[in-house]
């Protein structure tokens, strides 16, 4: 991990723990890898900002040439408040936003993700260009992860209803210029090839489509044994298909991807401290209680996600023995576990860690994506943790202050 003991001590002294720590050099490395995604007729990379929505992170990516994928009108507005130009924002949402006409007038691009949304867009902006998100119906024999585009997913317009979408477009003189398929396909090149084939079949049914957006879902291994996606490997067969499509149809499709996880999964850690240590006897477990938990990282409790964890002893006590420990969070909630069994949030999976002492640092890795944006902050009235960025020159920049106790309850109306 990119955090040295000295830096951990400096951060803890300045900003206290728990604290998210992002590494700008790592963010930039991932951004460059995404921008090198194989393509034939041009590429737009959109950062799926729900992964971590801090304005500083949006600005870093945008300054490198990455645009924004927003999953709600609130996200679109937040990106604009952060200084992202509206024409760099594309909105693909589960809900039809109330103020869609305002957003469109500002220049935000829109992908209709249901027939109702397309109808709604038609009423707001007749005659305009729009994208449609299609659920290609992929059930390609993989795991649940690769199947999120199939019949069990509510996202997008079901592929058998394409004619209905075309009827709505006709009714409002809409030009469908973008096909969007985000199905979370993982790291298997064959699955991506299959999805690309299906997406191109869909594109062929829409003569005005100029852009194919294949969404995100590029998995990143956080702990040993988990596979990371090689964008070159999965992108090459897709690019070859786009080229063939052009040769056959004369249509040169611009390509878009929308990575979230890929851009920052391993670019941040949560710096926490060992708050207590206890055990439940020789037949039980040894527990490490941290001053962090589901209020900073919800993924382990939510879906048994695995995050690397390291105990960083204070200086001078490095020669401690190892043991097997269950690491828990600070919430009064038995589900607040940082070492669940893989994909089983109800199971415990002790980790081999240095014997901890109270006051040691506990560093939780893989905390860039879906952590600060998806934690259950304010449970037990813990204030939301600060976010710190390690700049490329090694300096520290606070990019979000710790919430104050007053802010936690500021919207309450006393009797
Ligand atoms: C969440 C989301 C993404 C990003 O998914 P990752 O798995 O983080 O890459 C991309 N596009 C859309 C439409 C999304 O909803």
- Structure confidence at residue 142 (pLDDT): 40
- Structure confidence at residue 143 (pLDDT): 43
301-326 per-position pLDDT tens digit: 998 999 999 999 877 666 889 999 99
Is 0.85 topped by the overall pTM? Answer: yes
List all residues whose CB is within 6 A of at least one atom of ligand 1: 48, 50-51, 69, 71, 92, 182, 184, 215-218, 258-262, 369
- Structure confidence at residue 318 (pLDDT): 67
CA distances in angstroms from 66 to 3, 27, 77, 258, 308, listed in the order given: 26, 12, 17, 10, 28
44-59 per-position pLDDT tens digit: 999 999 999 999 999 9
- Structure confidence at residue 190 (pLDDT): 83
- Structure confidence at residue 66 (pLDDT): 98
> Which atom of ligand 1 is least distant from the CA of 369?
8
Q: Whose CA is nearest to atom 10 of ligand 1?
A: 216
- Structure confidence at residue 141 (pLDDT): 40
Mutate to test the pocket of ligand 1, among 69, 180, 221, 266 (most ligand atoms within 8 A of CB): 69
- Structure confidence at residue 192 (pLDDT): 85
Parts of the chain with a pLDDT under 50: 139-143, 145-146
């Amino acid at each position: 991990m990119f955090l040295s003991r000295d830096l951990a001590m400096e951060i803890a002294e300045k900003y206290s723990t728990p604290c998210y720590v992002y590494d700008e050099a790592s963010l930039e490395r991932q951004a460059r890898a995404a921008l090198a995604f194989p393509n034939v007729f041009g590429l737009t990379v959109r950062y799926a900002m729900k992964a971590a929505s801090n304005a500083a992170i949006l600005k870093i990516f945008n300054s490198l040439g990455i645009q924004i994928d927003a999953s709600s009108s609130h996200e679109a507005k937040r990106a604009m408040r952060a200084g992202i130009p509206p024409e760099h924002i594309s909105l693909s949402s589960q809900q039809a936003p109330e103020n869609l006409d305002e957003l469109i007038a500002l220049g935000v691009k829109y992908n209709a993700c249901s027939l109702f949304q397309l109808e709604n867009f038609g009423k707001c902006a007749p005659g305009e260009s729009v994208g449609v998100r299609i659920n290609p119906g992929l059930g390609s024999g993989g795991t649940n992860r690769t199947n999120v585009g199939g019949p069990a997913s509510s996202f997008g317009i079901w592929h058998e209803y394409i004619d209905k979408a075309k009827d709505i477009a006709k009714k409002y003189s809409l030009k469908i210029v973008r096909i969007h398929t985000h199905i979370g396909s993982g790291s298997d090149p064959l699955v991506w090839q299959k999805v690309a084939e299906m997406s191109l079949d869909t594109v062929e049914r829409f003569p005005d489509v100029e852009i194919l957006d294949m969404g995100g879902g590029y998995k990143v291994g956080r702990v040993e044994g988990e596979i990371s996606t090689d964008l070159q490997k999965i992108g090459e067969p897709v690019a070859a298909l786009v080229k063939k499509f052009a040769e056959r149809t004369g249509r040169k499709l611009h390509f878009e991807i929308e990575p979230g996880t890929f851009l920052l999964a391993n670019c941040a850690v949560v710096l926490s401290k060992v708050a207590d240590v206890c055990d439940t006897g020789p037949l039980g477990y040894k527990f490490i209680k941290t001053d962090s938990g589901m209020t900073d990282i919800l993924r382990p409790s939510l879906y048994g996600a695995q995050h690397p964890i390291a105990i960083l002893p204070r200086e001078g006590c490095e020669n401690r023995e190892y043991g097997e420990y269950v690491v828990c969070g600070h919430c009064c909630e038995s589900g607040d576990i940082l070492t669940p069994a893989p994909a089983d949030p109800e199971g415990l999976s002790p980790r081999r860690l240095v014997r901890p002492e109270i006051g040691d640092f506990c560093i939780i890795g893989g905390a860039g994506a879906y952590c600060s944006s998806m934690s259950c902050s304010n449970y037990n009235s813990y204030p939301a943790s600060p976010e710190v960025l390690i700049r490329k020159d090694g300096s520290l920049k606070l990019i979000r202050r710790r919430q104050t106790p007053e802010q936690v309850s500021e919207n309450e109306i006393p009797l």
